[in-house]
Amino acid sequence: MSFITGASAQSPTLFNAAGYAIPGGIFFLISALRLGRAARAGDT
């Protein structure tokens, strides 16, 4: 909800979205690494 509030402010900035983008990027990286390891383990 705070993302919508920040986006509709008088002068919205991308800094508000960074609070969501950074954890999302970290989660994506961890998921990609785990899936890569699982795929390699399943190939043998």
Tokens describing residue 28: 């994506």
**Sign of the torsion formed by the C-alpha atoms of 36, 37, 41 and 44:** positive
- Tell if the pTM clears 0.85, that is, is over it: no
- Rounded CA gap, 42 and 3, in Å? 40
DSSP reduced 3-state for 42: helix
CB proximity list for 2: less than 8 A, separation 6 or greater: 16
Residue 36 has pLDDT above 60, yes or no: yes
- Report percent pLDDT > 90 for the chain: 30
